[in-house]
Amino acid sequence: MAGNVVPQDYLNAKADPLAPFAHFIINHMNEDHADATAAIVQHYAGVGCREASIVSIDRYGMTVRNEASPLWLLYEVFDNIH
């Protein structure tokens, strides 16, 4: 058992729906929309950011490396977009 996770939890788990496409999303965003990623970091994380790249992405969020350090941005951060 790993922490509170029992073997049956692993058997019942579903694969992340983004997993098969994550590298395409990451490459596209980093190659064509790096400025938008930097703007997302600056606006939603409240961190000054001129350069940013997505390191990983899944159904829960994305890890973004800015010029200073990596950040984990959960998608719920974006739920309040009006």
We report the CATH number of the domain holding residue 54 as 3.20.180.10
Which range marks the domain in which residue 58 is found? 15-80
Task: Tell me how far apart the alpha carbons of residues 67 and 50 are, in angstroms, rounded to a whole number.
Answer: 7
Residue 72 belongs to some domain of the structure? yes
Both tokens of 76, joined, read: 């719920």
Count how many domains the chain has: 1
Average of per-residue pLDDT values in the chain = 82
**Confidence (pLDDT) at 62:** 87
**Confidence (pLDDT) at 59:** 86
Q: What is the pLDDT of residues 13-33, one digit of tens each?
A: 888 899 999 999 999 999 999
**Confidence (pLDDT) at 66:** 81
What kind and span of H or E run contains 31? helix 22-32
Intervals of the chain under pLDDT 50: 1, 80-82
**Confidence (pLDDT) at 10:** 84
**Confidence (pLDDT) at 51:** 87
**Confidence (pLDDT) at 2:** 59
